[in-house]
Amino acid sequence: MRRTKIKINKSDFPTILHPFLEGACVFDSSCSMEARVFYIDKDEGLYLKKAPAGTLKAEAEMTEYFNKKSLASPVIDYVTDSEDWLLTKKVAGEDCTYAKYLDDPKRLCDNIATLLRQLHETDFSDCPIDRVKSYIGTVESSYKRGHFDNDVTDETRNLDREAAYRIACENKHLLTNEVLLHGDYCLPNIMLDDWKFSGFVDLGNGGVGDRHIDLFWGAWTLKYNLGTDIWRERFFDCYGRDKIEIDKLRIIAAMECFG
Ligand SMILES: Nc1ncnc2c1ncn2[C@@H]1O[C@H](COP(=O)(O)OP(=O)(O)OP(=O)(O)O)[C@@H](O)[C@H]1O
Ligand SMILES: [Mg+2]
């Protein structure tokens, strides 16, 4: 978690959000190039995410859905204008990239594996988003517009665009709507309060989908954030091998080249 105090110009924010900014210190908490995330130090703390128009609609919907299941903080406002703005209450604790968690990788690995299995056991019957459909849709549209980045895993680096697309096309029918997905199951998006789960954030790719998407990113983030691949097998063991099809992870990896 990175928070840098910044000076803001209120006129850069929608008028409806000004009362939340009044007299508050604001910090930059962004993790990616796609969105800007502000922490507003007001009341119990607020997070404000800004991204291109329309791109936070699904995240607002899924955050609200996860909140109803006590898995995320409530959405205070979603404003769509020339840009999208999503205001949520702060989830207690720190995300899993906090040094205290990274310093105990075994506990962290077991914790996020167990949490993921619990999430995947959650009832999703009223979930509004079909993630398999949009996931396959993204592969198709990226392929058509020439977007391809094979820098996903060591294996995908050996794939060219056509080979990755072939794997996606030949296997996409294997993806099932079997669980409630986080959709971006990475350490910065999982919040713990002194090791106790407090909520998920960054739910824009959530919905009903195939568990292997979350399993893929869970293993990926352990390697990426801990700088070693030694936790991968333990992560899968702890999640439960009974539900894991290792070959499906290779299909997801190929499809993620079009993500
Ligand atoms: N409601 C919240 N409560 C606590 N922390 C939050 C909350 N929302 C965001 N954060 C913190 O801000 C960080 C960045 O937010 P978020 O994950 O939503 O955006 P991102 O990863 O930068 O964007 P992208 O959607 O492009 O992946 C999170 O990793 C987390 O540390
Ligand atoms: Mg994030």
pLDDT in tens, 140-166: 999 999 999 999 999 999 999 999 999
Residues of the chain with CATH 3.90.1200.10: 94-256
CB 211 within 8 A of CB 243: yes
pLDDT at 3: 84
Residues of the chain with CATH 3.30.200.20: 4-89
Q: Which residues, chain by chain, have CB under 5 Å from ion ligand 2?
A: 31, 188-189, 202
pLDDT at 33: 84
For tokens 């090791």, what's the residue?
Answer: 195
Q: Whose CA is nearest to atom 16 of ligand 1?
A: 202
CB contact burial 40-77 (16+ within 10 A = b; e otherwise): bebeeebbbbbbeeebbebbbbbbbbbbeeebbbebee
Residues of the chain with pLDDT under 50: none
Which residues, at least 6 apart from 53, have a Cβ–Cβ distance to it below 8 Å?
A: 80, 81, 82, 83, 84
The class (CATH top level) of 94-256 is alpha beta
pLDDT at 173: 97
Distance 201 CA to ligand 2 centre (A): 7
Q: Determine the Cα–Cα distance for residues 188 and 171; give it in Å rounded to an integer.
A: 30
Give Dmax (Cα) for the chain. Answer: 56
Q: Whose CA is nearest to atom 29 of ligand 1?
A: 188
pLDDT at 23: 92
Q: Which CATH superfamily is domain 4-89 in?
A: Phosphorylase Kinase; domain 1 (3.30.200.20)
Report the predicted TM-score, pTM, of the whole model to 2 decimal places.
0.96
At 121, which amino acid appears?
A: E
Q: Determine the Cα–Cα distance for residues 152 and 128; give it in Å rounded to an integer.
A: 29
The residues annotated as belonging to the active site are 184
DSSP label at residue 53: T
Q: Determine the Cα–Cα distance for residues 197 and 92; give it in Å rounded to an integer.
A: 9
Distance 240 CA to ligand 1 centre (A): 28
